[in-house]
Structure 1
């Protein structure tokens, strides 16, 4: 079994209102010096068989990431027990 971790983040220049809200809240809580907060998502899955890399790229392009405003990277770990 193969474990896949996919990281999806907004591209540079795309506004991130959620990141800005977190940044403001952290500063309000006294964590001064925090800036440029960006929020993304982590998707973890297990794939049983096939060409895992090709499948992951297709999944990201078709559903998991919006290629217009998001970038994605992934890590593949072979032989991981669920």
Structure 2
């Protein structure tokens, strides 16, 4: 649907809030699979993990994900202005 609307995924930032399992050892595999599923470069995918303080249970998990979209065909900015 994103592509049909004329957009592409620029980057993904995710935070997983859970006690178990620890994802440190799995972070690379998760990034690789998300990259494959969404056709996004692995270096455009950020995954962080936190423990839940005050959530009250070790059986719950929360995921916060932010996806930045760009118009399809638009290159990344280099930081230099095109106006001289």
Q: Which TM-score applies when normalising by structure 2? A: 0.33
Greater relative contact order (CA < 8 Å, ≥ 6 in sequence): 1
Higher helix share: 1
Higher strand share: 2
Q: Which TM-score applies when normalising by structure 1? A: 0.33
